[in-house]
Amino acid sequence: MFRTLSLSALALGAAMSPALAQTEIQWWHAMGGELGQKLEAIVADYNATQTDYKVVPSFKGTYAETMTAAIAAFRAKEQPAIVQVFEVGTGTMMAAKGAVYPVYQLMADMAEPFDPSAFLPAVVGYYTDTAGNMLSMPFNSSTPILYYNKDVFEKAGLDRNTPPKTWEEVEAFSRQIMASGAAKCGFTTGWISWVQLENFSAWHNQPIGTLENGFGGLETELTVNGPVQVRHWENLARWQKEGLFQYGGPVGGNDAPPKFYTQECAIYMNSSASRAGVIANAKDFEVGYGMLPHYADIAPQNSIIGGATLWVLQGRPEAEYKAVADFFTYLSSAEVQAKWHQETGYLPITQAAWDLSKSQGYYDANPGADVSIRQMTLNAPTANSKGLRFGSYVQIRGIIDEEFQALLAGQKDAQTALNDLVARGNVLIREFEAANK
């Protein structure tokens, strides 16, 4: 009762104060724990720099929950101005033409200075339409890299400063590590779908789907059952049987990090944003960093991103969009971006933020912190390595996990698993096309 009273008193106070001129915008996000605190610090700094606008961040749970909440709110006409959506929701958001306010259009409508070329193409490429227009504002983007245990490498008689560069080396190193008894398993990985299929395909310049991995339209089809992917999944299944590789579970692979932290597995592939967690947990050994491995006969292309971007939703009062445009300018400034990048391990999204981090000496002080960005920008993105854009992709990610599990359980061989994956995924893509045409 007291709470209600004091709250309404507050509301009354707020309504009568001259601060009424301040425009408030809602930002729904999915950053819990430490990342959430860093996000709130950014917002607090922004709110302190000016008095016209006030950004109110609200934590809405996981990525999927945040997206579902925003969609439900939109249906009830209670949507926030800004919502953070993970990369696999991009297809759904893009198809919702009347629901989202494309960022390039917003910035133009609000007469806010905005230079799309300041952003790293490898990051924004994922979120632009075929005409090159930026549809959402990149916020937290990461890419998978390779972590390894330097001490175990040395114990196994390997060079502690040389991470494996190819999958052939991963296999050979793993064998040596296990034979020497330095660790029980060679390698593990988070995110089978994102790391060992999507990024694997982009890194080897193999298509994930037709029409530029779905960038070209809703008529796209998955084609991820090509010979290179089949070869890799075949190997993964074989390595798992031999114990060289340990499976970390579906989706993000919750069991993978502990396997690396407890020195059970010597090599670990996961998001560059896992760096903070790896450093915090790897207390008894030194961590090394490397790019994702590639097969020796195929030159590496570039890796693709994961993480989330900020989408602006339609149907809010005009004044709020003014605030959003101003906030986005602040958010993409070099100082804010460089700080966010250095504190979290997410990628800097602009060239200026990257340059600033360099000039601040961040990469010299933190070796390995630039592996992600060098890997992302190794080559200019091709049609196969720009990213991917499919409807219902949250469910397709689930299918990838299921088929991989069937493969590891020995129910299917790699070709059958990938064929079934493609067939099942395409059914969902066709349904999505029908619902959004």
Does the footprint of other proteins cover residue 436 (CB under 8 A)?
yes
Closer of 74 and 104 to other proteins (Cβ): 74
- For 106-141, the three-class secondary structure string (H helix, E strand, C coil) is HHHHCCCCCCHHHECHHHHHHHECCCCCECCEEEEE
Q: Compute the least distance from the CB of residue 344 to other proteins, in Å.
A: 26
Closer of 195 and 417 to other proteins (Cβ): 417
Closest CA to 87 of 397, 426, 437, 431: 397
C-alpha to C-alpha distance for 137 and 100, rounded to whole angstroms = 12
Of 63-102, binders to other proteins (CB under 8 A) are 64, 68, 71, 74-75, 92, 95-99
Instruction: State the binding string over 365-394 for other proteins (x if CB under 8 A, else -).
Output: ---------------------------x-x
Does the footprint of other proteins cover residue 428 (CB under 8 A)?
yes
* Alpha carbon separation from 420 to 95, 115, 194, 197, 403 (Å, rounded): 26, 43, 18, 14, 7
Q: Compute the least distance from the CB of residue 119 to other proteins, in Å.
A: 27
Closer of 218 and 338 to other proteins (Cβ): 218
Residues 303, 72 contacting (CB under 8 angstroms): no
Q: Compute the least distance from the CB of residue 269 to other proteins, in Å.
A: 18
Q: At what angle do helices 33-49 and 334-344 cross, to 10 degrees?
A: 160
Does the footprint of other proteins cover residue 434 (CB under 8 A)?
yes
Write the burial class of residue 117 (CB in 10 Å: 0-12 exposed, 13-18 middle, 19+ buried).
exposed
Of 270, 387, 401, 422, which lies in the binding site for other proteins, with binding defined by CB under 8 A?
A: 401
Q: Compute the least distance from the CB of residue 16 to other proteins, in Å.
A: 35
Does the footprint of other proteins cover residue 287 (CB under 8 A)?
no
Element (H, E) at 46: helix 33-49
Residue with tokens 């999505």: 432
Does the footprint of other proteins cover residue 234 (CB under 8 A)?
no
Residue 342: helix, strand or coil by DSSP? Answer: helix
Does the footprint of other proteins cover residue 315 (CB under 8 A)?
no
Residue with tokens 């689930």: 398
Q: Sign of torsion, CA 229 235 237 240?
A: negative
Does the footprint of other proteins cover residue 319 (CB under 8 A)?
no
Of 61, 216, 398, 430, which lies in the binding site for other proteins, with binding defined by CB under 8 A?
A: 398
Interacting residues with other proteins (CB under 8 A): 64, 68, 71, 74-75, 92, 95-99, 247, 249-250, 255, 258-259, 392, 394-395, 398, 401-403, 405-406, 408-409, 411, 424, 428, 431, 434-437
